[in-house]
Amino acid sequence: MLLTGADIVVECLKEQKVDTVFGYPGGNVIHIYDSLYKNKKYIKHILTAHEQGASHAADGYARSTGKVGVCIATSGPGATNLVTGIATAYMDSVPMVIITGNVPLSLLGKDSFQEVDIAGVTAPITKHNYIVKDINKLADTIREAFYIASEGRQGPVLIDIPKDIAMTTTDYEYAEPKLVERCIKNITEEAIENALELINKSKQPFIYIGGGVVRSEASKELLEFAENIDAPVTSSLMGLGGFPSSHELFTGMIGMHGTKASNKGINKSDLIIAIGARFSDRVVSKVEKFAPNAKILHIDIDPAEINKNVVSYHYIVGDIREVLKQLNNNIIKQDRKQWVNKIKGYKDKYPLRYPDNGLKAQYIIEKLNDITDENTIVATEVGQHQMWTAQYYNFNSPKEFLTSGGLGTMGFGLGAAIGAQVGNPTKTVINIAGDGCFKMNLIELATAVNYNLPIIIILINNNSLGMVRQWQSLFFDGRYSETTLNHATNFVGLAENFGMRGLEISRKEQVEEVLQEAINCKGPVLVHCRIHEDDKVFPMVAPGEAIDSLIMEG
């Protein structure tokens, strides 16, 4: 079948069972958009207000559905506007395929109008990228891109398509997508036996999970494993939802804003079983003081993570779900009642708490947790509200929590919520935002309204860049350099002028009623909540301190 490059792009998307793409048109992708128009009964296109919104929406779609997210932008500024979203996905191992247009082949490298070497720009923040210079290689390039995005440690892949490639014709033949197999080649019998020996000999094991548990869809196997070895479980920010937050073995998040039970407990352990986690600086803090008496058993799909930040005693490289299946098949069920009770004692003695004076973000999030169910997806922006959400909302299933962990991208949440709502139309999707983050991509309110997406935005307004202000308060003698925002913005009026519902919470007594009203809305709604500018996230580990040296509330 003779097709243009643009038609081949769309046919390959259909091959990969893509039902939704996010993007923004322009001159160098105009032929691809013409083909999308002709195929709109097969592929839905979501037009965002800005290309960065498209990249975050594709990311949120991927995280919440488990499918590959797809976004499209034109060359030059269109392509560069995607960069922050690509980096966000790369840092959090999110499968995405990004399609950009570029100037014709004859104009490449000549500083042509709207020309950028986007493949060069994104090389450090993609799993792989391509510039397609031969129309006969276009279809196989797209197929390979989807495979690379999905296999092993997932991540974004970019395909840059010059305009004349999209216009040229060549033969196209349908091909079935290549099956993505789970990575098991390095899961040897010896590696499993050595891991089991370590676990069996341990008196005080602690399971530390990361986002890899969610990506590998291993939460069921993890629950079985934790109950089999009777060990407490803590999670990085990215791992939340990989193990039920309400389970008695769960101790809460670990790290800079982790619970004292997690941070103190892991430093008392004799074996850390790290599963799909990378020992980031926000978890470990001062490496020399991290779990000084513990051996580390590290299970991860990416060999580059082994011994990168913390030295392992033993490791297994492979798909987490497959590793846990083999461990569960061979494990002897154990009883560590004394150790588990010790950690439970820490949980009872050092619960999360906050002052009960006035309207608090923690209280709002607790009430939100009470009135929502398992059919809910929560996205966040980045900052204090993100940490409060991680601390006070119970995530009991994977893919419930969408947040920028590795890059910490302010402005991520609204786009991610849009993608999640498009991918999960029957679920309640909530974006918890701070006022600083919200301003960065608030233009995407237009997208939510345009598609009548029933997203709930809970805007926690402390009139400041709260997390930076907290550091300035604690470590810079209260020199609040450029962190007091003092907006005159009427956020409820802003929402209403975009065409959505705007609600206000100014007193604690209003919280439950207004949140319920928001949930009952059939379209997008913003709930504006004003809190005090000096409310802080506790516990907190000061820079350079051991993780069990926590600053508690007050």
Q: At 213, phi and psi to the nearest 5?
A: -65, -40
One domain for residues 323 and 367: no
pLDDT tens for residues 159-168?
999 999 999 9
- Shared domain for 9 and 114, answered yes or no, is yes
Confidence category of residue 554, pLDDT binned at 50, 70, 90: low
331-345: string of b/e by CB count within 10 Å (b at 16+)?
beeeebeebbeebbe
pLDDT of 507-533, one tens digit each? 999 999 999 999 999 899 999 999 999
Is 23 in the same domain as 138? Answer: yes
Q: What are the tens digits of pLDDT across the range 187-238?
A: 999 999 999 999 999 999 999 999 999 999 999 999 999 999 999 999 999 9
Please give the Cα distance from 279 to 345 (Å, whole number): 25
Residues 105 and 196 in one domain: no
Query: b/e map of 98-116 (b: 16 or more CB within 10 Å)?
Result: bbbbbbebeeeeeeeebbb
CATH number at residue 202: 3.40.50.1220
| Same-domain status, 345 and 371 | no
- Does residue 249 lie within any of the structural domains? yes
Q: Which of 113, 178, 201, 475 is catalytic?
A: 113
Look up 51 and say whether it is catalytic: yes
Question: How far apart, in whole angstroms, are the C-alpha atoms of residue 221 and residue 207?
Answer: 13
> Do 381 and 529 share a domain, yes or no?
yes
| pTM attached to this predicted model | 0.96
CA distance 228 to 546: 30
Report the DSSP beta bridge partners of residue 433. 459
Helices (H), strands (E): how many in the chain? 23, 22
Q: How far apart are the first and last CA of the chain?
A: 70
Tens of pLDDT, residues 24-63: 999 999 999 999 999 999 999 999 999 999 999 999 999 9
Query: 141 and 88 in one domain?
Result: yes
* List 127, 163, 264, 360, catalytic entry: 163
- Residue identified by tokens 């301003």 is 439
538 catalytic residue (yes or no)? no
Last residue in a domain, options 171, 206, 228: 171
- Residue 551 covered by a domain: no
Are 426 and 345 in a shared domain? Answer: no
Asked if residue 468 is part of any domain, the answer here is yes
In a domain, 181, yes or no: no
Do 149 and 240 belong together in one domain?
no
CATH of the domain at 489: 3.40.50.970
Does 164 fall in a domain? yes
* 163 lies in the same domain as 106: yes
Residues 386 and 439 in one domain: yes
Q: How does strand 550-551 pair with strand 540-541?
A: antiparallel
Its domain, for residue 126, covers 2-171
Number of compact structural domains in the chain: 3
Domain assignment present for 177: no
- Please pick, among 51, 221, 305, 366, the residue that the annotation labels catalytic: 51
Q: Which of 410, 467, 500, 540 is catalytic?
A: 467
552 annotated active-site: no
Instruction: Identify the domain boundary among 143, 171, 199.
Output: 171
Known catalytic membership, residue 470: no
* Whether residue 418 is found in the same domain as residue 496: yes
Residue 250 falls in the annotated catalytic set: no
